[in-house]
Every structure is written in structure tokens, then in C-alpha cells.
């Protein structure tokens, strides 16, 4: 005791205890369940973590704000397109000259059944409309602005999926179907807008979630950011991971609320129900079917989701440990999102699949990925599935319950649901987009070299 005076001993004790408590704090944090959204993105990204699970874009406005830690949300300008492009397609009738429904009076209905899978257009538009009346913007990712020069991005409210689903067939005596006519009209309307001309539509958001929607216009509007279900029917020049956003399907089986099932209480090991014979990439379904249909704890059957199929699929998925998600006509399918809602660990066999918000979400924590070539090796799939033990499965099962809200479409939208996650995915694309647009503007002042005058310039012979 002679060496250390009592006062500094108390100080030392205090410091050690403080360090001890701090280290516990860090240890606890590193076990924090909510870390599956990666906040540690690239250092020059404009994203900052506002609270757990939430990403907010900072400084997306035209001007940077110094010395202010105020979080900014994505500012979106939406064209007031005539209702025939959006809610009119769902059967909604406008009142007077109003283009938009007043959501405080009631919410328009979106056609049900399988249409709902691609209803992304409806949920995003409603969230944008309601963002105006919301006085609590604290958890919101987006705000509608009425002046396009204040906006980060421009939203094109064309409900292309329902337009395809309902109006793809030509009426007798007509040259084109309504869906095609609307697309033609949209292209000429858009390309004549000041907002479009400003940067060739690069900051425009165009929705085409159904793989066959926007079939005519997609080759003309490809500068825009597309919201898609996958890239299966798009050449990389029209759509790609860098430019565009992948959005989840809306699941058609209901969410498994209060799921108290366990590894042992789910009798089926592997579940698949769907069309077995598909074109294109779907040939693998047929081969797998032949390989594993006779395994005792496998359910692999033909079935559609219509006519009682939804109830059957709900029960089937809830009583299975793993659900097969195999490439169909296109790399993506609704089955992945139905599996997530049923807490049935997805087994994804689709080599070219792109997943929603994969830049911030690690799917390997709650999905099993198997290469198509491996899946077709003799006994590979069944041996692999049987090798996954209770503990590992239970981990993935509880992860599924943490992430399921990211795939939930609803109105009103809630914090961290699919609607907010899509806006945030768009927001993450905004800074690189602005970089591109601004770089292209560098020489816009010295533009007199237009196409015709350029051609008259004498070029040196060796130029090409």
C-alpha cells in the first residue's frame, strides 16, 4: 500500500471497473441480433446508421449542409399521370379533376389473387401519397416533394404489372392491346418532360415487377432505374444490378404468426409444390423431381397456388424444415418469399438469381444456396439436407423471423418493411447516380457541337 496512495488507488479501481464495463458493453453489442443489416458500408457511402436496422441517406439534397446532423430522407417527385396509368387500372374512379385518391377517405383496392405478387407499384405509390399527410416522418425513408428541382429522384407511377396482367390481350378489331397503347403513350409523355430531358431520364424510377410488364417500353426507357423482380428477361444493357433495384414479390401465403414449431415438430424435410415442367432455366425442376420424388420425407408435387392451393401450400410449408426454391421460367419466383413467411428455410437452386437488398442483407444466414450443377449430382441434395442438424436449422429459423418484416408489403407502411427497404435501396443508388449525371454535365455549356455540325468537322484521316 505504501507505493500507491489510497486516493490514486481508488482512481485506478474506478478506471479498471469502467474499462471492464465498457468491454462488456462491446461484447454484448457484438452479439447484438440486429446486426444482420450491415451498417459498415463503403467509407465514402452517404449512408449512415440512424438506428438499428435503419439506413438513412444523408446530404442527398442539392446542397450539402455543414454542421448539421439532421437526417435527410429521400425526396421524390411523382408525375401526376392521368389515372388510366395507375389507380384507374385497378378499377378506381377519380372524383372530379383529382388524379389521385384521397387516402384519408379510403384506400383503393388492388386486384387480388396472383396479381398481388407483383403489386409493388401499388404499395410504393400509396406510401408516397401518404407521406404528404404524415406529420411523423421520423422513421420514414421517403417524402414526396411537389417541386421536381428539389427531388433526388423522379417517380413514374405507371402500374405496369397490373396493366400487363389485365390488359395484355387485344380486343377484337384493335391493332394493339391496352397495355401496349399505354406504354406507347407513356414513352412519348415521359420523353417530352423537362425532368426527363434534364438527364435523359437517369434519375427516373420506373416499375416493371412482372417479368413481362413494360415489354414495349423497356427498350426506350432503359436509362431509368427499373424496379424489377429479376433480370431474367432483360439483356444486361437494359437492366443490371448496378443501375436497377430488385424488389421482393409480395408473398401469397399468410405470415406464420406466433410460430412455436421446432425442428422436430416439422415432419417434412424438403418441400416443393409447383409447376414441375417449365421452359428455359426450369428444366432442372424436372430432373430434380425424378431424382428425389420417392424419398420418404420429401414432398415434391405438382400443384398450383390457385383453388385451395394457397391453404395447402401454407400447411405444407409450415410443416417442413426446408423449402425448395428452384429456378422457373425466370430466375426468381414467389416461392422464396412464401418460404420466408412460413419460416421454412429456403433452399435456393437458381444460379442467376439476384436478391432484394443483398447489399445490406446476408441471405446465407437464413437461406441455403446450392449450385444447379451440384444439385443434379447423384445423392448430393439429399445428403446435404440430411447433414444439416437441429442447431443450425434452428439458428436459420430464428433468423427468418427477424428478417421477415423486410419482405412485408402493407399500407400504412411500417418501419423497416418492404416498402421502406425498397426506398432505401433506391436511396443508396442516388449518390452514384448523381455522380454520373453531374459528370455528364461537365461540357454541357460548350455544347455547340451538335450532331450535324460535328459531322461537318474535318476529321484527321487517322482519327478512327
Ligand X SMILES: *[C@@H]1O[C@H](CO)[C@@H](O)[C@H](O)[C@H]1NC(C)=O
Interaction site with ligand X (CB under 6 A): 136, 138-139, 147, 149-150, 257-258, 448, 450, 452-453
Helix, strand or coil, per DSSP, at residue 240: coil
* Closest distance of CB 138 from ligand X, Å: 4
Cα 225 to Cα 199: distance, rounded to the nearest angstrom: 13
Specify the DSSP class assigned to residue 434: H
Between 10 and 449, name the residue whose CB sits nearer to ligand X.
449
Do 124 and 419 form a contact (C-beta atoms < 8 A)? yes
* Closest distance of CB 273 from ligand X, Å: 24
Between 200 and 235, name the residue whose CB sits nearer to ligand X.
200
205 beta partners: 155, 225
Between 240 and 398, name the residue whose CB sits nearer to ligand X.
398
Cα 133 to Cα 147: distance, rounded to the nearest angstrom: 17
Between 91 and 254, name the residue whose CB sits nearer to ligand X.
254
Grid coordinates standing for 135?
Answer: 406529420
* Closest distance of CB 151 from ligand X, Å: 10
Grid coordinates standing for 241?
Answer: 444490378
Cα 222 to Cα 344: distance, rounded to the nearest angstrom: 36
- Nearest-Å Rg of the Cα atoms of the chain is 26
For the beta sheet containing 345-349, the strands, ordered from the edge strand earlier in sequence to the opposite edge, are: 298-302, 268-274, 320-326, 345-349, 368-369
Specify the DSSP class assigned to residue 37: B
Cα 205 to Cα 224: distance, rounded to the nearest angstrom: 6
* Closest distance of CB 147 from ligand X, Å: 4
Cα 262 to Cα 248: distance, rounded to the nearest angstrom: 26
Between 147 and 169, name the residue whose CB sits nearer to ligand X.
147
Between 16 and 262, name the residue whose CB sits nearer to ligand X.
262
Close Cβ partners of 188 (under 8 Å, ≥ 6 residues apart) = none
Between 364 and 450, name the residue whose CB sits nearer to ligand X.
450
Between 166 and 198, name the residue whose CB sits nearer to ligand X.
198
Cα 119 to Cα 141: distance, rounded to the nearest angstrom: 19
Rounded (5°) CA angle 396-408-87: 160
Task: Give the Cβ contact number of residue 149 at 10 Å.
Answer: 10
Between 188 and 258, name the residue whose CB sits nearer to ligand X.
258
* Closest distance of CB 414 from ligand X, Å: 9
* Closest distance of CB 256 from ligand X, Å: 9
Do 408 and 417 form a contact (C-beta atoms < 8 A)? yes
* Closest distance of CB 149 from ligand X, Å: 4
Amino acid at each position: 500500500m505504501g507505493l500507491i496512495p489510497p486516493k490514486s488507488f481508488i482512481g485506478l479501481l474506478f478506471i479498471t471497473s469502467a474499462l471492464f464495463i465498457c468491454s462488456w458493453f462491446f461484447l454484448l453489442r457484438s452479439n447484438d441480433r440486429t446486426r444482420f443489416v450491415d451498417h459498415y458500408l463503403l467509407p465514402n457511402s452517404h449512408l449512415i446508421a440512424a438506428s438499428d436496422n435503419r439506413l438513412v441517406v444523408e446530404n442527398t439534397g442539392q446542397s450539402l449542409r455543414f454542421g448539421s446532423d439532421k437526417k435527410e430522407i429521400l425526396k421524390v417527385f411523382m408525375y401526376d399521370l392521368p389515372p388510366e396509368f395507375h389507380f384507374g387500372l385497378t378499377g378506381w374512379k377519380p372524383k372530379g379533376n383529382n388524379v389521385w385518391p384521397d387516402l384519408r377517405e379510403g384506400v383503393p383496392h388492388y386486384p387480388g389473387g396472383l396479381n398481388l405478387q407483383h403489386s409493388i407499384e401499388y404499395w410504393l405509390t400509396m406510401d408516397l401519397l401518404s407521406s404528404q399527410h404524415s406529420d411523423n416522418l421520423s422513421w420514414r425513408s421517403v417524402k414526396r416533394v411537389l417541386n421536381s428541382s428539389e427531388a433526388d429522384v423522379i417517380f413514374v407511377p405507371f402500374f405496369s404489372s397490373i396493366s400487363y396482367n389485365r390488359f395484355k390481350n387485344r380486343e377484337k378489331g384493335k391493332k394493339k392491346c391496352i397495355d401496349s397503347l399505354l406504354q406507347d403513350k407513356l414513352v412519348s409523355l415521359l420523353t417530352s418532360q423537362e425532368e426527363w430531358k434534364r438527364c435523359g431520364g437517369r434519375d427516373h424510377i420506373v416499375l416493371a415487377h412482372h417479368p413481362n410488364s413494360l415489354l414495349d417500353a423497356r427498350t426506350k426507357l432503359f436509362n431509368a432505374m427499373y424496379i424489377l423482380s429479376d433480370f431474367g428477361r432483360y439483356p444486361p444493357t437494359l437492366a443490371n444490378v448496378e443501375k436497377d433495384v430488385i424488389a421482393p414479390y409480395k408473398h401469397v401465403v399468410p405470415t406464420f404468426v406466433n410460430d412455436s414449431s421446432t425442428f422436430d415438430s416439422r415432419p417434412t424435410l424438403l418441400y416443393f409444390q409447383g409447376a414441375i415442367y417449365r421452359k428455359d432455366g426450369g428444366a432442372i425442376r424436372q430432373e430434380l423431381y425424378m431424382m428425389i420424388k420417392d424419398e420418404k420425407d420429401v414432398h415434391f408435387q405438382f400443384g398450383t397456388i390457385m383453388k385451395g392451393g394457397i391453404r395447402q401450400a401454407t400447411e405444407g410449408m409450415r410443416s417442413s424444415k426446408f423449402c425448395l426454391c428452384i429456378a422457373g421460367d425466370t430466375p426468381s419466383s414467389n416461392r422464396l418469399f412464401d418460404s420466408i413467411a412460413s419460416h421454412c428455410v429456403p433452399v435456393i437452386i437458381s444460379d442467376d438469381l439476384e436478391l432484394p437488398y443483398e447489399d445490406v442483407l446476408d441471405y446465407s444466414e437464413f437461406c441455403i444456396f446450392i449450385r444447379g450443377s451440384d444439385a443434379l449430382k447423384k445423392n448430393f441434395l439429399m445428403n446435404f439436407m440430411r447433414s444439416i442438424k437441429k442447431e443450425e436449422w434452428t439458428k436459420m429459423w430464428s433468423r427468418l423471423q427477424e428478417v421477415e418484416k423486410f419482405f412485408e408489403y402493407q399500407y400504412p407502411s411500417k418501419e423497416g418493411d418492404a416498402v421502406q427497404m425498397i426506398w432505401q435501396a433506391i436511396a443508396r443508388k442516388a449518390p452514384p447516380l448523381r455522380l454520373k449525371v453531374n459528370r455528364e454535365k461537365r461540357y454541357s455549356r460548350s455544347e455547340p457541337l451538335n450532331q450535324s455540325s460535328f459531322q461537318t468537322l474535318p476529321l484527321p484521316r487517322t482519327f478512327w
